[in-house]
Copies of this chain bind each other. A is one copy, B any other.
């Protein structure tokens, strides 16, 4: 197709309406912000860097987004759109609830900045995805037969948020070190054992942890254990 390499100014050379990005839009901004956040964390996202990624001037973003905080809220809501939820009429409610909890966890770990943003902004202003998420979750717990579905949800979500938050923070620290999780643990071990030298139970716990091999598996098991605990407690609230 290309016969010449020299750019000859002509009507043909001037590409007609083929912008590098389909211009700027709130959706594209949020999308790119999320990929940047996923890659390098909260503090690596600046309006200027985001803008250059979008082939735009720094302040152009403010035509579509009022403020950086608002952008964060939009990103959070966007991520809530990713979280799968079981249908309200699932036959096995425990399996379904487990699925929902695990889906939350995996998205929270895929976007490790989520937890810290939640801790700062909270969920006061609910965007469309968050609203839909809450609705479906409530419908599910109500259908299961919980007399106080909202209470049950708050309990379960609190557990999942708490566990995912610490886990995400941990994984972030690991990622910043540039090492693999196992290597990082190995390097951390001496310090931890020395710090817990005077504490019998802690030392035991660290010794036991040192024996384990696959850290990811350990985290999975920890999450599963707590989840079972919470579900057991909830099951007692089911009528009959």
Taking Cβ atoms with an 8 Å cutoff, the residues of A that contact B are: 42, 115-116, 118-126, 128, 131-132, 134-135, 138-139, 142, 148-152, 154-155, 157-163, 165-166, 168-170, 172-173, 188, 191-192, 195-196, 199-202, 205, 222, 225-226, 228-234, 236-237
Contact = CB atoms under 8 A, between A and B. Distances in A.
B233 A120 contact: no
Given A230-B159, A231-B233, A122 B202 contact: no
A135 B205 CA distance: 10
Contacts of A120: 42, 116, 169, 172
A159 B98 CA distance: 16
Closest 6 CB pairs of A and B: A122-B169, A162-B162, A233-B233, A229-B233, A158-B162, A155-B226
A36 to B, nearest CB: 17
Given A116-B116, A192-B126, A231-B233, A226 B151 contact: yes
B166 A158 contact: yes
A228 B222 contact: no
A192 B168 CA distance: 30
Given A151-B222, A155-B230, A230-B230, 14 more contacts: A116-B119, A118-B169, A119-B168, A122-B173, A123-B169, A125-B191, A128-B195, A132-B199, A135-B201, A138-B201, A139-B201, A154-B225, A161-B162, A165-B165
Contacts of A170: 122-124
Interface centre among A42, A121, A148, A233 (most CB of B within 10 A): A233
Contacts of A132: 199
A36 B116 CA distance: 20
B119 A115 contact: yes
Interface centre among A119, A148, A152, A160 (most CB of B within 10 A): A119
A188 B222 CA distance: 38
Contact of A202 (B135, B157, B200, B231): B135
A224 to B, nearest CB: 10
B199 A131 contact: yes
